[in-house]
Amino acid sequence: MHIAYASALGQPAEVVWTSLTDVDSVLAALPGAALARDGDGGVTGSVKCKLNGTQITYRVTVQAQLADANFRTTVLTIAGKEARGSGTLDATLTVAVRDNPDAQLEVSGDIAATGRGEAAEAEAWRRVIELMVHALVPPTASSAEPAAPVRPPLAVAPPLPASSPASSPQRPMVIGLMAIAFLLVFRRIRRRRTAE
């Protein structure tokens, strides 16, 4: 299923981008997560969440396909599998912070889930993203109104070469954004199942 989310955060884009690329802050907002960098520049580990009254652990791998700090954009690929079950999650998400005139966070992409996550609708995934974004970067009082509709798919600049000196500062950003995307999905599922 395709999801699209946009939110005006009422803060400068650089402040929002810095918050999202601060790995320590992002990981502090991820209860039940045990994530570590792998040798390929991605993140692997496990995330625990509660679905239908049952705590489930997912093994995940998150990779950044493209990342560009100049455009404040990254594309994430997330693959997960239940540690004790056959449920899976595959997602490709484009995350961007735009000046509009304050920061507007945009997340769009495709999510495919099997097992317990399969019943979640696109709106549920969108709300998961919204909850996590506002936990990491709370909007100011002036940004309480909803954001404008999301534009068509985001243009992404080509990746920087691996040997480029500018590519190493992107790793914390990639790890933070990957962790955000994965946790958002499972927090929403947990809340939706609890509400039912």
DSSP 125-166: HHHHHHHHHHHHSPPPGGG-SPPPPPPSSPP-PPPPPTT-GG
* 109, part of any domain: yes
**pLDDT value, residue 93:** 85
**pLDDT value, residue 81:** 94
Query: How would you classify residue 42: left for phi > 0, otherwise alpha for psi between -120 and 50, otherwise beta?
Result: beta
Evaluate whether 123 touches 4 at the Cβ level (below 8 Å).
no
**pLDDT value, residue 148:** 46
**pLDDT value, residue 68:** 76
Evaluate whether 32 touches 48 at the Cβ level (below 8 Å).
yes
What are the structure tokens assigned to 188, written together? 């929403």
Total domain count, the chain: 1
**pLDDT value, residue 178:** 62
* 157, part of any domain: no
- Closest C-alpha to 73, from 155, 195, 189: 155
* 155, part of any domain: no
> In this structure, what CATH number is given to the domain that contains residue 85?
3.30.530.20
* 154, part of any domain: no
Q: In the chain, which stretches have pLDDT less than 50?
A: 141-160, 163-171
**pLDDT value, residue 139:** 55
* 158, part of any domain: no
* 106, part of any domain: yes
**pLDDT value, residue 160:** 47
* 92, part of any domain: yes
Cα dihedral 57, 180, 1, 124 sign: positive
Evaluate whether 186 touches 58 at the Cβ level (below 8 Å).
yes
**pLDDT value, residue 191:** 63
* 119, part of any domain: yes
Domain span at residue 51 reads 2-149+167-195
What are the structure tokens assigned to 124, written together? 């549920």
Q: Is-above-0.85 flag for pTM?
A: no
